[in-house]
Amino acid sequence: MGPWIPVEEGLPEDGQRVLCYLPENRVYLPGKTGANELRPVVVMRFARDFFVKNASKTGYQGVPHFWQGEGTSNRFFHEVTHWMALPEAP
């Protein structure tokens, strides 16, 4: 597994699943208490030129790329600060 790569220095291949660092990623815990916890590392798939290829999608924020999560964990490009390749399976 390599080092964390700042998004300003390089991006994954289109469709590549990687570990992403989102410094403000809060996840709500089960129940109706509103409790949440910080989970800054998430597995996501990089979508290069997502808003160019999918012009009807809303949420464009000036950058054509997007991070696709698993379930409802999609993120806008600016929310991810660093990424790294997934480690090899044992």
Residue 90 in any domain: the answer is no
Percent of the chain that is helix, strand, coil (3-state, to 5) = 10, 30, 60
Residue 48 in any domain: the answer is yes
Neighbours of 86 (CB within 10 A): 11
As for how many domains the chain has, the answer is: 1
Give the domain extent around 71: 5-85
Tokens of residue 79, six digits: 């929310």
Separation CA 34–CA 36 (nearest Å): 6
Tokens of residue 76, six digits: 């806008």
Q: 3-44, pLDDT tens digit by residue?
A: 999 999 999 999 999 999 999 888 888 887 889 999 899 888
> pLDDT band at residue 82, thresholds of 50, 70 and 90?
very high
pLDDT at residue 12 in the model: 94
Entry pTM: 0.75
Residue 71 in any domain: the answer is yes
Say if residues 20 and 41 touch (Cβ distance below 8 Å): yes
Residue 33 in any domain: the answer is yes
Q: 37-70, pLDDT tens digit by residue?
A: 998 998 888 888 766 666 666 565 666 676 777 7
Averaged pLDDT for residues 73-86: 79
